A and B are shown apart, each in its own frame.
Chain A
Amino acid sequence: MTHVKRLGAALQGAGTVFLLLALVFALILAINPGFFAAPSLMAFLKQAAPLVILAAGQYFVIVSGNFDLSVGALVGAQVVIAARLIDGEESRTVPVMLVMLAFGIGVGLINGLITTVLKVQSFITTLGMLLVLYGAIRLWTGGAPTGALSDAFRTPGRLGIQTPLFQIPWALLIMIGVGAGAIALMRTRFGRILMASGDNELAANRSGARVDTVRTAAFVLSGVSATIAGILIGGFAGVSAQVGEGLEFTVITAVVLGGVALGGGRGTALAAMAGALAIEALFTLFNQMALPATLRPAVQGVIIIAAVAYAARRRIRPALQSTATPS
């Protein structure tokens, strides 16, 4: 019974994103019924996987009351690092992936420590990190990425398990794994402390929760998610200097579309990832409608504002009733 109630509460807060997702899918179906055939659906999910994974990482940071604006630059940096270090040698694939993982964890750790120990607002910390990563990578490569990725490196982002009818992309399996991990993590002690830190830092601190530790861990998780997304995007799209540009804003938008409150303490990991899926579905819909590329940002902007405004309306009402209770 409590499970049903909890599910109901979760759906009420995040209802908008599932509504939006259903709406966009319905429109895609109306325009192109063939889209939901297994191969094209799998292709869609393969393309959507990196954003969903990034949304899971960003969710941890946002729910604990912070921002991570550095993920786009980090994804770009990871792809460039991979190409430069692997340089086409198959045997270097796994060691380089480990180096990337260490780099992602390191960047997340620095973001987290600067934010929690030095008390710099995360907006500024990660904005600075964005500038540093952006400049450092171009400085290192001399402006244009060099080297090449190995075939083994590109496998997770490009290929999958062949079944008689269609291919199940590795990216989809990784996405499901990361998603399940994120949802499970939020049910642990760590997840509850994270949520409490975002909801009321002072109360969490007074209750003995290690707010700074879990917040730093959230940044590390975001760095790890950017690493995984970098591997998938590098495999899928190859190397270019523009990889990851502007991705941070898309990811934050996705998480907020999922009903996760900026400022922390509200929202579920599942809904955040559904937000990412909704954004990717929206991009697909624009493709299907053959909407001019230049007009897409405008439509995207309108939909984001409308969806968040709609979600805000739903949230305000119960809050107004609860003001009667003494706080």
Chain B
Amino acid sequence: MTAFTPRPRIGATVAIYLALAGVLAVGGAAVAADGGNLFATAHLVDMLTRTSLTGFLAIGMTLVILCRSLDLSVGYTAALSSLVAATTMDGQSGNVPLAVALVLLVSGLIGAANGAIVAFLKVNPFIATLGTGLILKGYLDTEYKGPAGDVPFAFQQALGYTRFAFIPVSTVVMLAVAAAAVWFLRSTRTGHHMYAVGGDVEVARMSGIRTTRVLLTAHVLCGMSAGLAGLLLAARFGTGSAEAYTNLYELDAIAAVVLGGTLLLGGKGGVAGTVAGVAILAVLDTVFNVMQIDPFAKDVLRGVVIIAAVALYARRQLDRTARRPRFAAAAGRAS
């Protein structure tokens, strides 16, 4: 077991945090040139608040992507979770524990359904989760014509708006979940197996890993993290909202994961990088907001930044195939 080290090379994660520092520096300079201060408390709060929602979704997404899977249904799962939370709480603080439990159960079950379709029915994850997303969309559109439920004020304050100095509680919770996920991937057997399954599912299976179980676990955890995002949505809006899925959170989450250096093809990356990816997107959004850049130009810039960043990472990863001993000699000759 000692020969198998699934941890990403320290260099990769450090590079992503350097990129984050670079984005912060450039953004800060741009805002300063514009006569503002990116590091004013209000802007820092804005930045950190933005990280929490995408953060929850991206942490779960990292797990499934590491297994060479994908989840396009997280936006719908989060929307449904916000509705489950708000209608179960129904304005009563006493119902909060029940609502949280119910949200985790429902979102976990959706994740389990995704995992089962991918692992047992062998449906491509792109199609499987697009399909479950469509099913959830149909259910949400049919059942909920508008906002529903009522989130008690105490819960709204606790998760939605309280903060220590300039750090919102939701960000602290997100970072705690991220830390748990880092520990899970580095120190548990299932965590290690996720890297193996993502690297090569056949090799993993022949090495005695129950690959379907690993895939199922990743999807359940991804669903539950989308459930946490739904709880946060409910706390922010004070009610459950089916409309939340129109924001295409799943694409944001995937972009953050990939920005964080996790390979879309699975088997390489980690949650620490993902958190940096989420932060990079949040910094960009805040900078665009502070500088009052046209919202449509924001989309253009985001698109360009995402492609450029991944192109830079790809430079680092070009040697990936060459590092495999079997092709080392041939690759050396070819280049």
Which A residues are closer than 8 A to B by beta carbons? 114, 118-121, 123-125, 127-132, 134-136, 138-139, 143, 202, 249, 252-253, 256, 261-263, 292-302, 304-305, 308-309, 312-313, 316
Contacts and interface: CB of A to CB of B under 8 A. Distances in A.
B300 A120 contact: no
B313 to A, nearest CB: 9
Given A124-B258, A294-B141, A297-B135, A253 B127 contact: yes
Given A256-B127, A297-B134, A305-B117, A135 B298 contact: yes
B294 A305 contact: no
B79 to A, nearest CB: 13
B22 interface: no
B132 A305 contact: yes
A253 B137 CA distance: 16
A23 B165 CA distance: 62
B131 interface: yes
A298 B296 contact: no
Contacts of B294: 139
A254 to B, nearest CB: 11
B296 A139 contact: yes
Contacts of A253: 127, 130
Given A119-B311, A312-B121, A129 B139 contact: no
B311 A309 contact: no
A136 B318 contact: no
Contact of A127 (B122, B134, B255, B301): B255
Nearest to A138: B296
Given A295-B138, A297-B134, A308 B127 contact: yes
Contacts of B298: 135
Contacts, number: 141
10 closest A-B pairs by beta carbon, nearest first, are: A298-B138, A135-B299, A301-B134, A131-B303, A294-B141, A132-B303, A128-B307, A301-B135, A135-B300, A309-B121
Given A121-B264, A131-B299, A297-B138, A305 B123 contact: yes
Given A120-B311, A136-B296, A294-B142, 12 more contacts: A118-B314, A119-B314, A119-B317, A124-B306, A134-B299, A135-B303, A249-B130, A263-B124, A301-B131, A301-B134, A301-B135, A308-B131
Given A249-B130, A252-B126, A262-B124, A131 B135 contact: no
B127 A120 contact: no
Contacts of B137: 297-298, 301
Nearest to A252: B126
Chain B, interface size: which category?
A: 35 or more
Given A127-B306, A143-B296, A308 B142 contact: no
B304 interface: yes
B130 A304 contact: yes
Tell me the interface secondary structure of chain A in the complex.
helix
Given A139-B297, A295-B142, A312-B122, A120 B307 contact: yes
Interface string B30-44: 000000000000000
Interface string B244-282: 000000010011001000001100000000000000000
B134 A131 contact: no
Nearest to A136: B300
11 contacts: A124-B307, A127-B255, A138-B296, A252-B127, A262-B127, A293-B141, A298-B142, A302-B135, A304-B127, A304-B130, A305-B117
Contacts of B310: 120-121, 124
B201 interface: no
Interface in B112-148: 117, 121-124, 126-128, 130-139, 141-142
Contacts of A136: 296, 300
B192 interface: no
Contacts of A299: 138
